[in-house]
Copies of this chain bind each other. A is one copy, B any other.
Amino acid sequence: MNNAEETLSIFALGGVNEIGKNMYAIQYGEDIVVIDCGSKFPDESLLGIDLIIPDITYLLENSSRVRALIITHGHEDHIGGVPYILRQLKLPVYATRLTIGLIEVKLREAGLLAETELIPITSDSTVDLGSIQATFFKTNHSIPDCLGIAFHTPEGVVVHTGDFKFDLTPVSEQYADIHKMSDLGKNGVLALLSESTNAERPGFTPSERKVGEHILEAFSKARQKIFFSTFASNVHRIQQVIDAAEATGRHIALLGRGMENVVGIAAKLGYLTIPEGMLVKPEEVNRLAPERIAVLCTGSQGEPLSALSRLSTSNHRKVHILPGDTVILSATPIPGNERNVSRIVDNLFRLGARVVYGSGSVTGLHVSGHASQDELKLMLTLMKPKYFIPIHGEFRMLHQHGLLAESVGVDPEHIFIVNNGDVVDIQNHVARQTRKVTAGNTFVDGWGIGDVGNIVLRDRKHLSEDGILIVVVTLSKTEGHIVSGPDIISRGFVYVRGSEELLDQANQLVAQTITKLQAENMNQWSTLKIRVKDVLGRYLYESTGRKPMILPIIMEI
């Protein structure tokens, strides 16, 4: 089978040295298969950017060879980029039913649903993609219907775990295919790509079922309304809330678009079992006795526009939190979200609510969906790969995952900690990492994809720190003297009221500078502009300690 000319190549277009924006590719000869197409949110330095998706230049340049996009599961960091990418590159998309249900929502919004080929698969499917054959295995995670993928290539088997944990007592009997994993390892795995999100965390991640026990306890103790906020996609968690509501005789109302969407899809597709008559509309909450209602809502990460955020400031039109109500934040704040979560908790306490918040390891009301160190070692032991590429994580997580692999016997020389775009080439069972393909961040801002880059962001940063000063002067075309101005307009710099003297001085300085340069015949526009910026910049810095953007507008008439 093996053609000595051909090379098996493995690379990430997103997802390593970062959290989110996952996209990986397996290439053999003329066939490329893409795994996942995620998005991530910008950090606070990327001003005005709404979303980040992978740079798919490489795929566009090789579009005739790309056979398929396979999605491991329906989280945003795995499907968030799908509508943006499909607009540029037509591809069949393979995923399980729930994942397809979630992708459909996005494609419908983007007007791409009709033209996209969405192919449902199960963990028993086999998909032939040229020289690459994909088979699947079920994994446990914080959303149902997750897949790991085995790519059978002429060079050997490459396994991509997707996101996973080992939950031995899963909710809704969603057991992982541990025997399939074992068989893959027994028959020989050439390369393993395994997720690293919790590679810094010792031990074994607790079962989702443990959370169910704490939910039932919290429901049993509450005497008034309960507000339960969690990730809308955590269908198992939601099932356990429904079960607790049933056991304690409460109705459930859904708040937040994400919650309504996911619960609707999951119930329709049979991933959620909701007793007849349990769901009530938000407007019915006030008509029911407080001990007969639980509200399931979004906002557990402190998202400023979420249902919980609006509830915490009494800004929800239909539902109100009253003193003595219980609010449960069933999530551990993701780094970067702590301040927003804290602000909501403060406001909930101000309303007189009993608030259960903080790390899930303390409250018992949240567990991670990702494998901790012992589970990562279990996966490595089951797969016993020749080569190992840790994926999904920042450098320190990939590094720690590499150490875990070493600890269970993987040859340190066979561990590749890569950047997005770094290609691991395997030929005749020997792997090398020497070349790169284009990879990086594509920024989404409003409707624009990729039209905001470093210069625009640098300007936004400059504007955000010290504002802008615009100097308008009109010069006589024939004589060169100042006809009108200089007029100074500022935004985001100082209060104009109270700064009259500063701005007057600035004005005079500009006029003097121009007059002097005219007298010296240094009156090319570019010289004038540079000197005005210089002189004014220095004056403003000395007077205020600030460096606003200065924009001289010089006109001739």
Binding site for B on A (CB under 8 A): 17, 43-44, 47-48, 200, 335-336, 338-339, 342, 345-347, 349-350, 355, 358, 394-396, 399, 445-448, 451-453, 455-457, 459-468, 470, 472, 474, 483-484, 489, 491-495, 498-499, 541, 543-546, 549, 551, 553, 555, 557
Contacts and interface: CB of A to CB of B under 8 A. Distances in A.
B342 A448 contact: no
A516 to B, nearest CB: 23
Interface of A (DSSP majority class):
mixed
B545 A491 contact: no
A470 B470 contact: yes
A541 B451 CA distance: 15
Contact of A495 (B349, B453, B495, B499): B453
Given A47-B465, A346-B394, A545-B445, A551 B472 contact: no
Contacts of A347: 395
Nearest to A548: B48
B557 A451 contact: no
Nearest to A446: B545
B338 A491 contact: no
A495 B455 CA distance: 8
B484 A555 contact: yes
Contact of A468 (B349, B446, B463, B544): B463
Contact of A492 (B200, B394, B456, B495): B456
Most buried by B among A200, A335, A463: A463
Contact of A338 (B336, B396, B557): B336
A403 to B, nearest CB: 10
Contacts of A494: 448, 451-452, 456
A417 to B, nearest CB: 9
B491 A549 contact: yes
B44 A470 contact: no
A474 B48 CA distance: 32
A544 B466 CA distance: 26
Contacts of A465: 47-48, 460
20 contacts: A17-B346, A48-B464, A48-B465, A335-B338, A346-B396, A446-B466, A446-B546, A451-B494, A453-B495, A455-B495, A456-B467, A456-B494, A459-B492, A463-B463, A472-B472, A472-B555, A474-B474, A484-B555, A484-B557, A489-B551
Contact of A396 (B339, B342, B543): B342
B345 A396 contact: yes
A545 B451 CA distance: 12
Contact of A463 (B338, B464, B499): B464
Q: Tell me which of A17, A44, A456, A499 has the highest count of chain B C-beta atoms within 10 A of its own C-beta.
A: A456
Nearest to A347: B395
Contacts of A336: 338-339
B346 A339 contact: no
A404 to B, nearest CB: 14
A120 to B, nearest CB: 33
Nearest to A460: B492
Contacts of A484: 555, 557
Given A335-B342, A459-B467, A483-B557, 17 more contacts: A48-B464, A349-B399, A451-B494, A456-B494, A456-B495, A463-B463, A463-B464, A463-B468, A463-B491, A464-B464, A468-B491, A470-B470, A474-B474, A474-B557, A484-B557, A491-B549, A553-B553
A462 B492 CA distance: 9
